[in-house]
Amino acid sequence: MKNSIKLIILLFISQTIAAQNYSFEELPNWVKTNEIPKEPSISKYDVMSGYYLTLADYQVLLEENAFFYREVSNVISYSGITNASQLAITYDTSYQHLNIHHLYIWRKGKKIDRTKDLSMEIMNNEYNLHQGIYTGKITAYDNLDDIRKDDLIDLAYTLVGKNPIFGEDKYLFIPLEAMNHIDLYTIRVLYPKEKEYSFNCVDCDSTIQITDTVVNGSRQIEITNTNLKPLKLEDNIPTWVSPYKYFTLSSYSSWKNVNKWAQDVFTLPNKQELSEVFDEIFTGEETTEEKINKIINYTQDDIRYMGIESGIGSIKPFTPTQVVKQRFGDCKDKSLLLVTLLKDIGVEKAYPTLVNTLIKHELDEYYPSNEIFNHCIVKFEYDSNTYWIDPTITLQGGDFKRIYAPDYGKVLVVGQPNDSLESMSSNSNGSATYIEEEYIMTSFSEPTKLKIKSKRTGFEADSRRALLEYYPINDLSKSVTEDLKLYFLEVTKKGDIEITDDIEKNIFTVTYNYEIDGFWQDGDKSSNIAHRGYWLYKFEPQSLYSYLKSTVCEEREFDFELLYPMDFNYRVILNLPKDLLISDDFKQIENEAFYYEEKFEQLDKNSLQIDYKFKMKSTNIKAGEYLDICKQVNEISKKLPLVIYFPK
């Protein structure tokens, strides 16, 4: 209850401060004015949302942390009026101030000054509270009156301020492409000429004009692109692949310097008194390894996830004593707590570790910066081995030697200031799914009994265990039943779902029992003459279709991201109403992306067993290999259905 009251107070304070945190100011004298393009270079049929930016002008006075934005929206169809007339500016009031310079409406070549008509409504921007994240950001919003087709909406403003936790260090990452057309796109960056910042225009070509000059003691970088075509994206582009050109700048010369900054952020002011934690979770009889397991479980499961991500709090962790007191924290809070607890029991080589969950193993392709990370985990060494723990993952089974941590690629281990990033050696901990379906058929007209046994190990067990902590078992049962109804006329659940959770071995098993009617089709009632005189059943391995489904295969420009790690094993046992003789069969397909095998085996005179295995071998498919691999998947999918005939 106290925490709820605190959050309400935080929201109230945020709203009160925000109301005072924007003002109307003249255009700054350091800003260079750009002319609006005279003629649009695109038709309304090539534009999303009925409007586009005829001018996108972004300028940065780096040492003052001043970010100038001017966007001129061209409303070229009636559908664009609604979208373009809603202005929204989001920022963090704990360190940023909004200066609004002007709002002009250009109508038939004439300028209408609407600046004084702006009445910004302040809206709290807390869309992620249900995920345990409070950002402190607000949105200044206005819905403009009297906007018409062919109007140009010209808005200019500056956001001043930067999170003080980053100190005097500088970092910029500015995409140079967009999802909609832009007539004129300009970037201008100013900073003192004596500053030795690194900068680069990545993947830029001759269509982008770049100038680098010194004007009145300031280095001035200008980037101009005209008639900017919309960015064309593909599905499943890996998160670590940048699909657009971009400009980037950093004041850091090495990752070692970033690490020194991170050490200051994670340094504790004094010795943390955490004896109450040990009194709570230890009996006094544990070995060191048992203590490590209990500390990890405590940090993951007993400290709930909640992030106060406003201002310095978005980067600077709470002290472990504070986290224990409030019983919540985000990734950095939980990581520092785990590191401190491990050191208190003698595991000295324990470190907070900064990662980027999207860029992963490509992180060192970017300039070193303290602003490039978005998550924190823990690395520790014990008995000459290295272990990685993500303290935000809950309900993990197994001991610390086999616990799963996602492979975040290249990481910054705080306290080990190397010149380069370190590569994680992630443990997939035997993560796999095993589905067994057994059908028992006594006749062609009576209902069929179906038993489904789902066994998950490793991270798959962790995920299913966490899912059933959040959703009631009836929801899972309903989902399975609805899936079965896609293939069978009548599905009846028989008995309760059985759940077995071996948390020490990390094996999570769920068993369902069903009765299915309408399993066999009477060929005499079929419109297909060839079916007359037969009972037939078309078997569809539905559990496999989630992973193997037909799709349109086309050449790709970007790599294709895969669901990795993934090890899916599917067994079907068909106990048939009459004897059947088949030849055992085995086939397999393997390429750079996956391994697939399919095995048919006769168990006895009327029982057939089919085993499928589908395992991902890589995180992605290279663009040049995608077409061939996609065709292989389609070929497998096309041959999955199996039709069984019995003469009447």
- CA 507 to CA 396: how far, in whole Å? 11
pLDDT, mean of residues 205-217: 93
Where is average pLDDT lowest: 11-15, 31-35, 66-70, 410-414? 11-15
When pLDDT is averaged across residues 438-462 and rounded to a whole number, the result is: 95
Which of 468, 481, 546 shows the shortest CA–CA distance to 512? 481
pLDDT digits (tens, 9 = 90+) for 37-87: 987 767 777 788 899 999 999 999 999 999 999 999 999 988 899 999 999
Bridge partner residues of 490 (DSSP): 517
Cα(465)–Cα(470) distance, integer angstroms: 9
Paired tokens of 99: 């200066």
Q: Where are the beta strands (DSSP E) in 503-617?
A: 507-517, 521-522, 534-539, 560-561, 567-575, 585-590, 594-604, 607-616
Q: What is the band of 307 on the pLDDT scale with cuts at 50, 70, 90?
A: confident
**Which of 399, 397, 375, 395 is closest to 387 using CA atoms?**
399
Confidence band, pLDDT 50/70/90 cuts, at residue 546: confident
∠ at Cα 199 (196, 200), nearest 5°? 155
The fraction of the chain above a pLDDT of 90, given in percent, is 79
Give the pLDDT confidence score for residue 226 in this predicted structure. 93
Over the chain, what is the mean pLDDT? 92
Cβ atoms 67, 159 nearer than 8 A? yes
Is pLDDT of 13 > 60?
Answer: no
pLDDT > 80? residue 131: no
- For residue 263, the tally of other CB atoms under 10 A from its CB is 15
Q: Which domains does the chain have, with CATH numbers?
A: 2-251 (2.60.40.3140), 257-423 (3.10.620.30), 432-647 (2.60.120.1130)
According to the model, what pLDDT value does residue 425 have? 82
Helices and strands counted in the chain (H then E): 11, 38
pLDDT per residue as tens digits for the range 333-388 = 999 999 999 999 999 999 999 999 999 999 999 999 999 999 999 999 999 999 99
Q: Which of 367, 60, 67, 31 is nearest to 196 (CA)?
A: 367
Average pLDDT over residues 164-178: 95
Q: What is the dihedral of CA 6, 7, 11, 13, to 10 degrees?
A: 20
Q: 29: closest CA among 199, 218, 164?
A: 218
Window from 245-254, 481-490, 493-502, 570-579 with minimum mean pLDDT: 481-490
Q: What is the mean pLDDT of residues 159-168?
A: 94
Spatial separation of the C-alpha atoms in residues 295 and 8, rounded to whole Å: 32
Q: Binning pLDDT at 50, 70 and 90, where does residue 16 land?
A: very low
Q: For residue 432, with 0-12 CB atoms within 10 Å meaning exposed, 13-18 middle and 19 or more buried, which class applies? A: buried
pLDDT digits (tens, 9 = 90+) for 481-534: 999 998 888 999 999 999 999 999 999 999 999 999 988 999 999 889 989 999
User: What is the structure's pLDDT at 381?
Assistant: 96
Sign of CA dihedral 350, 352, 358, 363: negative
Residue type at 603 in one-letter notation: L
CA-atom Rg of the chain in angstroms: 30
Using the structure block, give the residue that is written with the tokens 């008639």.
227
Name residues whose C-beta falls within 8 Å of residue 550's C-beta, 6 or more positions apart in sequence: 633, 634, 637, 638
pLDDT at 451 over 80: yes
Is the pLDDT score of 182 beyond 90? yes
| Non-local CB neighbours of 7 within 8 Å, separated by 6+ positions | 134
Contacts of 521 (CB under 8 A, 6+ apart): 531, 535, 536, 537, 538
Distance of CA 483 to the CA centre of its chain: 26
Average pLDDT over residues 435-460: 95
Distance CA 112, CA 495 (A): 72
477 burial level (CB within 10 Å; 0-12, 13-18, 19+): middle
Cβ-based burial of 373 (10 A; exposed 0-12, middle 13-18, buried ≥19): buried
Mode of pairing for the β-strands spanning 432-440 and 567-575: parallel
Closest CA to 120 of 104, 106, 149, 99: 99
Query: Does the model's pTM come out above 0.85?
Result: yes
Chain segment 374-397, per-residue pLDDT in tens: 999 999 999 999 999 999 999 999
